[in-house]
Amino acid sequence: MHTITLGDDLTTSAMGFGAMAVTPVYGGTDEATALAVLHAAVDAGITFLDTADVYGAPEPGTDGPAGTNERLVARLLADRRDEVTLATKFGITGRIGAGVDPGIKRTRGDAEYVRHACNASLRRLGTDVIDLWYMHRRDIEVPIEETVGAMAEMVAAGKVRSLGLSEVTASELRAAHTVAPIAAVQSEWSLWSRDVEEHVVPACAELGVGFVPYSPLGRGFLTGTLTREQVAADLRGNTARTGENWAANQRVVDAVAAVAERLHATNAQVALAWLYAAGRRAGVPTVPIPGTRSIARITENAAAVDLMLDDEALTALDAVADLTVGGRNIVADPSWISSGRE
Ligand SMILES: NC(=O)c1ccc[n+]([C@@H]2O[C@H](COP(=O)([O-])OP(=O)(O)OC[C@H]3O[C@@H](n4cnc5c(N)ncnc54)[C@H](OP(=O)(O)O)[C@@H]3O)[C@@H](O)[C@H]2O)c1
């Protein structure tokens, strides 16, 4: 697989792998399968792995970042650290989702916590350096300059190679970039989640920052393989796009499927290929990180790097956002995502 450079010098495989769902979030999988999936991603040339300290079910009796996803990734790294570009994140300190009090503060970005989080991730991952370390969510009670200043200390200490920010606004990105170079923004970007194109993506183009679109398959929805019942049972049931808007949003799936059929590709491949096209159009190096618990789907998704979309396909796919009913946020608090703070 060819490579893409994010920021000044972070070179990654053109497609990454989002490891979030190999520990329970959209249903589950067993640990042996999860580890086999991680190996399969690297075997397929998808060597840019995305985890976070908060991914995975919390261990009984503990609070805060679970670390179980990082511990799983550590098992891959034990054998293959040199093959992997490792990305992880810190900053979400509480659980999100149904049944969680939306008034609870769920983020921390103070300097003391930043230092603690870095050391904790390194320990769990069993490595001495993180290639790309993201602030997962902004702590709006702490100036972003303090958070990024402490992240930069970790770079100076040799514990981190490059810095990233997730779900930041364009002005937060600009402020952060004056403190330390930011290699990549990771935020939701897909055919049906395009709010970042208004401010954040242009700021990335202006500053030379790469973009890592998360949930590039619309958390699976764009693939057309999910059922309403499946989605209602997990985190995805929290968005305004499911429930009573489920049926209306099937028009989105239909539009993607029509393009896929004409191009002899799959919905997932078309959704990923559109992101590469959108990144080129915006002048921003773009590396999507689809996740799956299936080895077969890794091969399918990897093939999207070679799928070129013609003008007819791009026109049809650009219209998908207008068919979408309901916002993308999975949390009741609008400030949880960048467009809620722009
Ligand atoms: N920074 C953030 O706040 C943030 C938020 C969310 C996610 N992320 C990152 O982004 C990564 C990807 O996001 P995501 O997992 O939310 O969503 P996604 O990659 O858009 O979609 C994942 C879903 O799509 C399904 N899928 C994958 N490939 C498929 C294919 N070829 N055909 C049919 N279905 C397919 C998976 O099901 P199966 O497992 O059954 O294949 C899974 O349910 C995460 O792993 C995480 O690393 C970051």
Residue 331 domain-assigned (yes or no) = no
CATH number of the domain bearing residue 291: 3.20.20.100
Statement: residue 268 has pLDDT above 60: yes
pLDDT in tens, 78-121: 999 999 999 999 999 876 655 566 667 789 999 999 999 999 99
Token pair of 191 as six digits: 């055919």
Token pair of 227 as six digits: 């059922």
Residue 203 domain-assigned (yes or no) = yes
Q: Quick one: average pLDDT of 267-284?
A: 98
Statement: residue 62 has pLDDT above 80: no
Whether 294 and 37 have beta carbons less than 8 Å apart is answered as yes
State the pLDDT at residue 28. 83
Catalytic residue among 26, 55, 134, 214: 55
pLDDT in tens, 15-56: 999 999 999 889 889 999 999 999 999 999 999 999 999 998
Ligand 1, CB cutoff 6 Å, lining residues: 18-21, 26, 50, 136, 166-167, 186, 214-220, 223, 225, 268, 289-294, 297, 300-301
DSSP for 122-178?
Answer: HHHHT-S-EEEEEE-S--TTS-HHHHHHHHHHHHHTTSEEEEEEES--HHHHHHHHH
134 is catalytic: no
Distance (angstroms) between ligand 1 centre and the Cα of 271 equals 12
Distance (angstroms) between ligand 1 centre and the Cα of 214 equals 8
Residue 128 domain-assigned (yes or no) = yes
Residue 236 domain-assigned (yes or no) = no
The whole-angstrom separation of Cα 294 and Cα 44 is 13
The whole-angstrom separation of Cα 189 and Cα 192 is 8
pLDDT in tens, 156-175: 999 999 999 999 999 999 99
State the pLDDT at residue 235. 86
The residue among 230 and 212 whose pLDDT is bigger is 212
Q: Which atom of ligand 1 is nearest to the CA of 223?
A: 33
Structurally, the chain folds into a number of domains equal to 1
Q: Which atom of ligand 1 is nearest to the CA of 137?
A: 3
Residue 270 domain-assigned (yes or no) = no
Q: Which residue has the CA at smallest separation from atom 44 of ligand 1?
A: 18
Distance (angstroms) between ligand 1 centre and the Cα of 17 equals 9
Q: Which atom of ligand 1 is nearest to the CA of 52?
A: 47
To test the ligand 1 pocket, which listed residue (214, 272, 300) has its Cβ within 8 A of the most ligand atoms? 214
Statement: residue 70 has pLDDT above 90: yes
The whole-angstrom separation of Cα 191 and Cα 96 is 24
Between the two ends of the chain, the Cα-to-Cα distance in Å is 36
pLDDT band for position 64 (50/70/90)?
A: low
Residue 55 domain-assigned (yes or no) = yes
CA 176 to chain centre: 19
Residue 244 domain-assigned (yes or no) = no
Distance (angstroms) between ligand 1 centre and the Cα of 45 equals 18
Query: Any residues with CB less than 8 A from the CB of 23 and at least 6 apart, and which?
Result: 34, 55, 56, 57, 66, 68, 69, 72
**Structural domain that includes position 198:** 3-217+275-305
Distance (angstroms) between ligand 1 centre and the Cα of 290 equals 5
Q: Which atom of ligand 1 is nearest to the CA of 268?
A: 31
pLDDT band for position 189 (50/70/90)?
A: very high
Residue 91 domain-assigned (yes or no) = yes
Q: Which residue has the CA at smallest separation from atom 8 of ligand 1?
A: 214
